[in-house]
Amino acid sequence: MKIAIVGPGAMGSLFGAFLARSGEDVWMLDHREDRATHIEKSGIKVEGISGNFRASVKATTDPKKISGAELIIVCVKSYDTEAVVKRIKSLLGDEALILTLQNGLGNIQIIEDVVDSAKIIAGVTSHGATLLGWGHVKHAGKGETVIGRLDGALTGRLRTIASIFKKAGFDTRSSRDIRGLIWSKLIINVGINGLTAVTRLNNGRLVEYEGVREVMRAAVSEAVKVARRKRIKLAYDDPIQKVESVCRATSGNISSMLQDVLNRRKTEIDFINGAIVRQAKGLGIATPTNETLLDLVKTVEESYDKYIKT
């Protein structure tokens, strides 16, 4: 299958390499010419828990080259979703499906504003990946990938995509309740990402210090209150235990938000803890811990050139 992956970050590179290795025709769409040239020439190198390998992929900055792709996987940061989807919209053929595997709340709505909802698949993945350089990724944690259509239908095409992912080595299933899954993943990110960005600890270390664990529990409890009020069905019974177990399962991973901070990039805090704060406002639920995390991470990202180095 011709598959285009938009955004050669950690998750995009991981999916690109695994899918290419299993024989799919993978195209990485990048906005940087020098990086696309490098990836096209050297392929994607993977190391970590699934062993070391290199996979050849095609890479381009020209959206026209991805026309004819049956699946387009959006792996850019949430704040770039709108621009990317507008850029590729006219190239989506009748058969093309667009899959968001991004963190945070709001990506589906942004894509739906541009593309017919029947063409959209949303998904969550629990894999941990760290970008070590252009086209070089460390697979740091394994987990399930779940995909679903917005209308909940378990169609043949959804199953085909799940089986392509499985063949590539990703444990994948289809679900009827994608909203519940997005929220279930959101709550994991609420408990992990902002805290790693502020403490500069990897995921596993977050459960080793009682102070940060307390803050994690408070942030997760606020998010769960919002989810319950919105009658979202979470994919697990004990959210705090779940977040802690993800920390352990991805213990060696540097969360995507800490990777952003270490690379002095804008973070997805607005789509994670910020999304909880916004959703809670309309419901009259207090979210002081998420507000604090939002303020702290915003300060971190606005002051990259000011912090005191040791």
**Is the Cβ of residue 71 or residue 131 nearer to ligand PAF in the bound state?**
131
User: Taking CB under 6 A as the criterion, which residues in 107-126 touch ligand PAF?
Assistant: 126
Q: Which of residues 44 and 124 has its CB atom nearest to ligand PAF in the complex?
A: 124
Residue count, binding to ligand PAF (CB under 6 A): 13
Q: How far is CA 246 from the centre of its chain?
A: 15
Examine residue 250 and tell whether it contacts ligand PAF (CB under 6 A): yes
Binding of residue 43 to ligand PAF (CB under 6 A): no
Q: Binding of ligand PAF at residue 188 (CB under 6 A)?
A: yes
Cβ atoms of 24 and 1 within 8 Å: the answer is: yes
Which residue type occupies 226? V
Task: Among 100, 107, 184, 193, indicate the residue that binds ligand PAF (CB under 6 A).
Answer: 193
| Active-site entry in 58, 119, 138, 185 | 185
- 110-123 burial by CB neighbour count: b if 16+ within 10 A, else e? bbeebbeeebbbbb
Using DSSP bridges, classify how beta strands 145-149 and 172-174 pair: parallel, antiparallel or unpaired.
parallel
The answer to whether the Cα torsion of 278, 284, 288, 289 is positive or negative is: negative
The answer to whether residue 192 forms part of the interface with ligand PAF (CB under 6 A) is yes
185: annotated active-site residue: yes
- Piece of 52-60, 71-79, 155-163, 250-258 that binds ligand PAF (CB under 6 A): 250-258
Task: Rule CB under 6 A: say whether 203 interacts with ligand PAF.
Answer: yes
Residue type, 77: K
Binding of ligand PAF at residue 246 (CB under 6 A)? yes
In the list 60, 78, 174, 256, the residue contacting ligand PAF (rule: CB under 6 A) is 256
Beta bridge partners of 98: 72, 120
Residue 183 tokens read as: 């929220």
Distance of closest approach, residue 221 Cβ to ligand PAF, in angstroms: 18
Rounded Cα–Cα distance for residues 40 and 190 (Å)? 35
Cα 303 to Cα 68, 211, 289, 300: the distances in Å are: 43, 24, 21, 5
Near ligand PAF by CB under 6 A: residue from 100, 172, 175, 255:
255
Other CB atoms within 10 Å distance of the CB of residue 217: 16
285, 229 Cβ separation under 8 angstroms: yes
- Residue 193 C-beta: closest distance to ligand PAF, Å: 5
With contacts defined by CB under 6 A, name the span among 13-21, 54-62, 94-102, 252-260 that binds ligand PAF.
252-260
Q: Beta-carbon neighbour count of residue 195 at 10 Å?
A: 25
The set of catalytic residues is 185
**Contact residues for ligand PAF (CB under 6 A)?**
103, 126, 128, 188-189, 192-193, 203, 246, 250, 253, 255-256
